[in-house]
Amino acid sequence: MQTLETWLSRLSLVGLTLFIAYTVLITVRAEAADVPRPKERARATQVLTRPDDAREVMPAAGLITGNGIVEPLDREVKLGAQVPGVISRVVAREGDEVAAGAVLVELVQDAERADLRARKADLEVAQGRARLSAATGARVAKLSARGAATDEEYERVRYQAEIDAAAVLQAEARVAEARARLERLTVRAPGAGTVLRVMVREGEYFNPAAGALLTLADLSAIRVRLDIDERQVGQVAVGQPAYVTARAFGERRFEGRVVELAWRMGRKTVRTDEPTERIDTTVREAVVQLEAGSELVQGLRVVGYVLPRETSATPGASR
């Protein structure tokens, strides 16, 4: 009996040992499967660094590079009406070049126009009374000078003329108020520019809290806002030559110069959507004004290159 128990104990110990060995073997194989083989590592490296990869090619030594976005000469202006209402007329169309003060959008104005006409009629009545009171006062003044009118009559007429003159001023203020209410229903261009986008149509109800009516921008010159890495900010100054490239235009270079530098560091504003991109770095914005490039679409992502300070021209630039 003791011999049987001894053998059973030994068999249990052997079984436990085999189970532990099997578990360790499975774990080792699983970890080995996660480690890429030399050929696989070489193939992955080749895929990430092949010449036709979608990522940008590293610039030549000495260039300061940064991702950027195309923008107008001045920031885009989003315009809206001061009051809610129904859109009665959309004058502007996308791509239109408009002058300062040009009518872009009108809201329904029937009630305001009727109120303005009524206020103008009241003003005409007040002006007529004032003219009559002034004429009466002048006539009574002459009679009073000859003794044909009493001082009481003269004071009464003169006081009435002052009241009527004040009524004219009051009527003029009401006309101005009505005209201002009417003007609030017309959206005009604050300056010359190009209509980039129209967000409403005739018949729609507009609420200022919901957003803008349209977007306006000055496209007389094209600028690019670049994100300069914090490690290179000391190499960039206003006036340095620069150029930008865009995938849509191949190897073409759009030349320009740095015209503005941000006064403080900040987070990246332009993302390339590349998995290897660093997003935890701080940048300094640099604005490059281009000599040409009107075909660059607003909001297009580009890559900018700022030449070193001792370089005076862009080598091999082509347009």
Cα separation, 68 vs 318, in Å, equals: 20
Could you tell me if 94 and 216 are in contact, meaning their C-beta atoms sit under 8 angstroms apart? no
Q: Provide, rounded to the nearest whole percent, the portion of the chain with pLDDT above 70.
A: 75
How far is the C-alpha of 255 from the C-alpha of 244, rounded, in Å?
7
**Whole-angstrom Cα distance, residue 218 to residue 295?**
14
Domain 76-108+187-218: give its CATH code. Answer: 2.40.50.100
Q: What are the pLDDT digits (tens) for 86-123? A: 999 999 999 899 999 999 999 999 999 999 999 999 99
> What residue spans define the domains of the chain?
2-49, 64-73+221-306, 76-108+187-218, 109-184
Structure confidence at residue 62 (pLDDT) = 65
Q: What is the pLDDT of residues 174-220, one digit of tens each?
A: 999 999 999 999 999 998 889 999 999 999 999 988 889 999 988 88
- Looking at the DSSP assignment, which residues form a beta bridge with residue 287? 225, 260
Helix-strand-coil percent breakdown of the chain, rounded to 5? Answer: 40, 25, 35
Both tokens assigned to 182: 């009417």
- Determine the topology of domain 109-184 in CATH: Helix Hairpins (1.10.287)
Taking the C-alpha atoms of residue 147 and residue 217, their distance in angstroms, rounded to an integer, is 73
Question: In the numeric block, which tokens belong to residue 148?
Answer: 């044909």
Q: Which residue has the tokens 């409403």?
A: 200
Fold of 64-73+221-306: Elongation Factor Tu (Ef-tu); domain 3 (2.40.30)
Q: What is the pTM of this model?
A: 0.60
